[in-house]
Amino acid sequence: MTRLLALLAMFAAFLSGPAAAQPVTEEEAYAIGIEAYTYAYPLVLMETTRRVATNVGAPGRMRSPVNSFANMKTYPDASFKDVVRPNADTLYSSMWFDVGKEPLVLTLPNTQGRYHVIPLMDMWTDVFATLGTRTTGNDGGTAAIVGPHWQGTLPAGMRLIRSPTDMGWIIGRIQTNGAADYAHVHGLQAGLKATPLSRWGKPEVAVAMPAPDASIDMKTPPVQQVAALAPQAFFASFAELMKRNPPHASDYAIVLRMERLGIVQGQGFDLSKADPAVQRGLTRAATDAYQRIVTRRKALPVRGGWGAIGSTVGVYGNDYLARAFIGFAGLGALPPEEAVYPMAVLGDDGKPLTGASNYVLHFDKDQIPPADAFWSLTMYGEDQFFVANPINRFAIGDRDKLRFNPDGSLDLYIQNLSPGADKEANWLPAPAGVFTMNLRLYLPQRRATDGSWAPPPVKQVP
């Protein structure tokens, strides 16, 4: 009997969960904290971005109340700081959704064959569905986004798309062929609508504009706001966000590890009340984990000066470092089936690209970027945003009036000052200092995703 009681006591201790675990050392807290910060970063960044984007009383071009679209009327320019590494190829249609109370019905326009993509991203930054040209076609239609626990009936014939989290972000793109094309795309954007299921089939009503929240920082880019969060504020925010945004089904290994620190799903977390060893370990870990995310680019394979962002973009599985890095370097990136984003980080001399030098990017005729929709090359300053230039050009690509060489090859001139009137059609202005670039291939052909095609090196020229 005594032995049975002892076994029962051991079993009860096992079941009692985190409280019964042995106290962690500072080094254990630090090691788990590195993983926890990396895991948490996208969720905290998404919430910070959401707060800015839905604070509609403040000026901005991608801001609108929850469950309503904000349509960009022009390409972003050097003043745009809401999202890092924006594109200048499409007009964005952005909406932060909340389907915790009821489903939201999306209506897509008939684009008459024009490329568009409407990606649905959960609060962990995973793209859980894409609508548009590649998947559902160009004829438009409806689909209902429902919450993770919703049970009910949709109108006959309506697609159901279940979001893993109550909240999320849609950042739609419609192909836009320069400023002359804006008016046509505005008409397509007008056909993109979101309607609560309870109002489906009823007359449209005006969306109420809430008063602006003066406590929200509308000047500092969200990615910089998150970088500035103290460890206590960061982990407290993360714990609150997990209450409404449950982990993915494959995340429970890291969720159980975090319980060792007192970060328990569904509960708040106050670092100041944690064991001193946990306080010290997590404080150190927050700083080091952030630097690990920021410097991730240096660890990526570089081929001919181009860094491969990776095949897990948009859908990350359990590669939490990849997910955090893409959040930092390109929040809202599309899955590779929709677009690939090779990043130019070095010249052919192996040194960082800088406006102090002049470069040429030469494509042989059979090496023009293989994209079934379109391609472009976009310039970014050291802060990952556009940089003002005299011709207001932030990207160049196949929809521009490029001048090809007689043999069908193409030279793009990348430099701070104009290469001359005869070459200006192919000029992508560079800032005076350090810069990076992204090629974007929309609907990339297979050779752009299987490694058989790669961008040529960016060659420094006199």
The pLDDT tens digits for 113-149 are 999 999 999 999 999 999 999 999 999 999 999 999 9
> What confidence tier does 310 reach under pLDDT thresholds 50, 70, 90?
low
pLDDT digits (tens, 9 = 90+) for 378-407: 999 999 999 999 999 999 999 999 999 999
Read off the DSSP letter of residue 455.
Answer: P
Predicted pLDDT at 11: 43
Q: How much is the average pLDDT of 282-298?
A: 94
* Mean pLDDT of all residues in 313-317: 93
- Separation between Cα atoms, residue 179 and residue 297, nearest integer Å: 33
Residue 173 is predicted with a pLDDT of 97
Supply the mean pLDDT for the chain: 92
pLDDT digits over 149-176, tens only?
999 999 999 999 999 999 999 999 999 9
Which stretches of 116-227 are assigned E, i.e. beta strand? Answer: 116-122, 127-132, 141-146, 159-162, 167-175, 193-196
Given this model, what pLDDT does residue 13 score? 43
Q: Which residue has the tokens 């997910």?
A: 323
Extract the runs of DSSP E, i.e. beta strands, from 15-122.
70-71, 90-98, 104-108, 116-122
The whole model's pTM is what? 0.89
| Residues 39, 19: Cα–Cα separation, whole Å | 22
Q: Provide the 10 A C-beta neighbour count for residue 248.
A: 17
Backbone angles phi, psi at 139, to 5 degrees: -90, 0
Paired with 404 in beta bridges are 410
Three-state DSSP at 164 gives coil
Phi-psi region of 137 (alpha: psi -120 to 50; beta: other; left: phi over 0): left
Count of CA atoms in the C-beta half-sphere (13 A) of 292? 20
Going by DSSP bridges, is the β-strand pair 435-444/339-340 parallel, antiparallel, or unpaired? antiparallel
| 191 and 140 Cβ atoms separated by less than 8 Å | yes
